[in-house]
Structure 1
Amino acid sequence: MRQNPSFAMTDVAELRRLIARNPWATLVSATDDGIVASHYAVLLDDERDDLTVVGHVGKPDDLLHGLGERELTLIFQGPHGYITPRWYGDVAAVPTWNYVALHLTGVPEILTPEENLVVLDKLVTHFESAEPDPRLMWQAPNDEAYISRLERGTMGFRLTPSRLVAKRKLSQNKPDDVVDAIIAELNGDGAYANAALAAEMQRAHEALRGARA
């Protein structure tokens, strides 16, 4: 991902927020047989305060990626959407796409079966906690034999990135009045309304305006 200094995200707290709110990641590896991509839910490692993440892949995706043997890039994508030039007013303009994205790259550490079980349990608990009656991993009718078979069919990993690229392209190059107009349109009911993107733009531009004040 090409980086623009004016669009760069560097605040670790904001990057952690991006991962936490958008855990469905794309895993990309360059292998001897070409590029391999998979899609899995990934969580921040709750024992760390950096950008270390934990997750798993289903076998044989571990072999396809050469998991633990080479670099792996995890791609996280936040809110994104089309921005029509009509929202800029009567000026020369073309369409664009606003988005938030993060690429984490590093060589993942392979988890032991015991560590993998902990991560699997945390994944289930994390997502089921939103339900009024959560169905947890160790809850009946699941039993120890079933959970053991589940674990054997997966490979857990922990990745502490050795490098990252993070980009928040949210019309930072536009005047405040144009930004406000875009946010209003995104919060409207038109074909390209996008409340999540509007909220992300509002958050980013409030921070930018606060820094200028």
Structure 2
Amino acid sequence: MTDVTELRRLIDLNPWATLVSAADDGLVASHYAVLLDDRDDLTIVGHVGRPDDLIHGLGSRELMVVIQGPHGYVSPGWYGDVAAVPTWNFVSAHLAGVPELLGPEENLRILDRLVARFESGRPQPRTLWEAPNDPAFVERLERGTVGFRLTPTKVVAKRKLSQNKPDDVVETIIAELGAGAGAYADPRLAGEMRRDLDTRRAAR
């Protein structure tokens, strides 16, 4: 995957990310939500709780952010009466670079955006600055985190969605994943496969 619009869509729909870096005593990983920055590229913003900033050497060494989109098991029984083995379909992106550390004011703005993003789906959203939170509480919260902005210098993104199979087989897999009742039903993965199949058909 190289299309920036598609990658931005992937990040926006799958904000729970894995952060990986090579520390002095080996690899370390953490898990945090990230957001797209207010740009048109693949720059992301987020935060870590202390002391994860020190554990990762945040701002001084390369950080990889792993975005995992929909993924799931594909049974060989869905291919028809042919020799086949199982596989796993997925969409993912790895964004790597040395992040820029944010000052307190900008970190607060990002924390505010983060809360607003996920509260927006609730019937009565509770924002960061809303009572019973008061400014002193929010400022203490900010001091316990370190914000960062990552403009990736390396991006590796892959979309494995049965592109090597005939359209009728892909349609069967989409139907099985989208059925909603089977053990491996996954409407989100079915939706990604439908989007990919339709795009490939339109390009023929």
Is 1:55 the counterpart of 2:46? The answer is yes
1:193 maps to which of 171, 185, 191: 185
2:5 maps to which of 9, 13, 33: 13
Is 1:115 the counterpart of 2:67? The answer is no
Matches for 1:22-101 after TM superposition, within 5 Å: 22-46=14-38, 48-101=39-92
SS at match of 1:93: coil
Deviation at 1:33, TM superposition (A): 1.0
Mapped partners of 1:190, 1:151: distance in 2: 44
Mapped partners of 1:129, 1:193: distance in 2: 27
- Residue 2 of structure 2 aligns with an amino acid whose one-letter code is T
TM score, norm. by length of structure 1: 0.94
Deviation at 1:190, TM superposition (A): 1.7
SS at match of 1:76: strand
Could you report, residue by residue, the CA deviation over 1:104-151 in whole angstroms, capped at 9, with x for unpaired residues?
Answer: 000000000111010000001111111111100011111111111101
What runs of 5+ residues in structure 1 fail to find an aligned partner? 1-8
Mapped partners of 1:197, 1:68: distance in 2: 35
- Residue 68 of structure 2 aligns with an amino acid whose one-letter code is Q
Mapped partners of 2:136, 2:172: distance in 1: 57
- Residue 125 of structure 1 aligns with an amino acid whose one-letter code is A
Mapped partners of 2:118, 2:9: distance in 1: 16
SS at match of 1:193: coil
Matches for 1:158-177 after TM superposition, within 5 Å: 158-177=149-168
1:133 maps to which of 112, 124, 127: 124
- Residue 17 of structure 1 aligns with an amino acid whose one-letter code is R
Could you report, residue by residue, the CA deviation over 1:138-179 in whole angstroms, capped at 9, with x for unpaired residues?
Answer: 111111111111010000000000010000000000011110
Mapped partners of 1:122, 1:161: distance in 2: 21
Q: Identity, % of aligned pairs?
A: 72
- Residue 178 of structure 1 aligns with an amino acid whose one-letter code is V
Mapped partners of 1:51, 1:180: distance in 2: 31
Mapped partners of 2:37, 2:31: distance in 1: 18
What runs of 5+ residues in structure 2 fail to find an aligned partner? none
Question: Aligned residue pairs: how many?
Answer: 203
TM score, norm. by length of structure 2: 0.98
Mapped partners of 1:27, 1:44: distance in 2: 15
Structural RMSD (CA): 0.6
